[in-house]
Amino acid sequence: MSDMAAPAAGISGIIDPEVLDCTICFDPLQPPVFQCAVGHVICSPCQGKLINKENCNTCSLPGGYNRCYALEKILESLRIPCANAAYGCTVKTHYHEVEDHGKSCPHAPCFCPEPGCNFAGSTVALLAHLTGGHMWPSTELEYNVKLTLEVKAGVHVLHRRDRSPFFLVKFTPAPPPYGSAASVLCVDPDATATMEKGRKFRCQLGSSNVDMDWQQYSRFQVRSTTLSDGWPPTEDGGSLYVAPSTESITVSITKIMRDIWPLPVRTNIRSQQLEHFCKRKSSNPDAKTSSQPRMGESAKKQHISTM
């Protein structure tokens, strides 16, 4: 990748990108490039693979392909500003590097998930917006260290000192006999690349009641998102169902090392104990009807379908 600045006296303009793409594979050209007698240009890999090197693949004119030094010089001098320049990226790349940089650009915007709010910006700017503008509560997070969070409808922000990426823990009301569902997302400008390479973080959510002698936890890989489509459905990520009277849950987040094959989601709910506890605590009569799904069954089904 190149971030060389264009010459000070450079020319800005608009060029049809098609003229800079190979006429055979349509990939962006990079030197060396080859042309036929009338200027159909092809990339070096395609030139190497041609069975008939005597005639142009596009116009069939004889004479084969020759190096096109003039276009190579243009490609070498061309610098394309990153599409995220408006969000603070100052990188300018060669034409053939645009796509790779775009996939990993640290300035790709992330979006505010609050309905009706159009804010977009870097993770640093979005974090400041959520905690300062929308006044969402936030806690500093260390990987592999268990945090205790109050169960309270709404979103809690977990951020690291370096601020990127950050995590959102959302508490939403859940059907009886549960009190609420807690789900976790990672807000990451690199979310597209993460989908290709595998998830980056694993989370464990837990809740317990010492008096009632029960505990439950849910372990899952955290979904990364730029929130460009708003808040994803809860079923798209791991979650934990929390008993109505539980006041706090524990959260810990672990970075997944790239060479470790992603693990499937695991849940360990001591279901009979929790069901017993929820029924005793719940004041909702529906919770006791026989049509109510059993706690363990519905919770497990949810969790398995989330991956």
The residue ranges that bind Zn ion (CB under 5 A) are 22, 24-25, 36, 40, 43, 46, 56, 58-59, 82, 84, 89, 91, 105, 107, 112, 114, 117, 119
CB of 21 to Zn ion, least distance (A): 8
Nearer to Zn ion, 17 or 293 (CB): 17
Task: Name the minimum Å distance from CB 71 to Zn ion.
Answer: 13
Q: What angle do CA 149, 246, 174 make, to 5 degrees?
A: 95
Could you tell me the two tokens for 57?
A: 């693949």
What is the closest distance, in whole angstroms, from the C-beta atom of residue 108 to Zn ion in the complex? 7
The smaller minimum CB distance to Zn ion, of residues 15 and 85, is found at 85
With beta carbons less than 8 A apart as the criterion, state whether 129 and 145 touch: no
Q: What share of the chain is helix, strand, coil (3-state, %, to 5)?
A: 25, 30, 45
How near is the Cβ of 74 to Zn ion at its closest, in Å?
A: 17
User: Nearest 10 degrees: CA dihedral of 103, 262, 256, 187?
Assistant: 50
Between 47 and 180, whose beta carbon lies closer to Zn ion? Answer: 47
CB-nearer residue toward Zn ion: 52 or 290: 52
User: CA–CA separation, 207 vs 248, rounded Å?
Assistant: 7
What is the spatial distance between Cα 1 and Cα 102, in angstroms, rounded to a whole number?
11
Q: Measured from the CB of residue 122, what is the shortest distance to Zn ion in angstroms?
A: 10
Residue placing its CB nearer to Zn ion in the complex, 54 or 142: 54
Nearer to Zn ion, 94 or 107 (CB): 107
Of 119 and 279, nearer to Zn ion (C-beta) is: 119
Q: How far is the CB of 131 from Zn ion (least distance, A)?
A: 11
Closer of 42 and 251 to Zn ion (Cβ): 42
**Is the distance from CB of 82 to CB of 107 less than 8 angstroms?**
yes
Q: Which of 153-159's residues contact partners 24+ apart within 8 Å by CB, and which partners? A: 153/180, 155/130, 157/127, 157/130, 157/131, 158/251, 158/253, 159/127
Four-point Cα dihedral 222, 226, 231, 236, nearest 10: -40
- 158 and 251 in contact (C-beta within 8 Å)? yes
Rounded least distance, CB 231 to Zn ion, Å: 12
Min separation Cβ 10 and Zn ion, Å = 19
DSSP 249: E
Name residues whose C-beta falls within 8 Å of residue 186's C-beta, 6 or more positions apart in sequence.
Answer: 165, 166, 167, 200, 201, 222, 223, 224, 225
Compute the residue count for the chain. 307
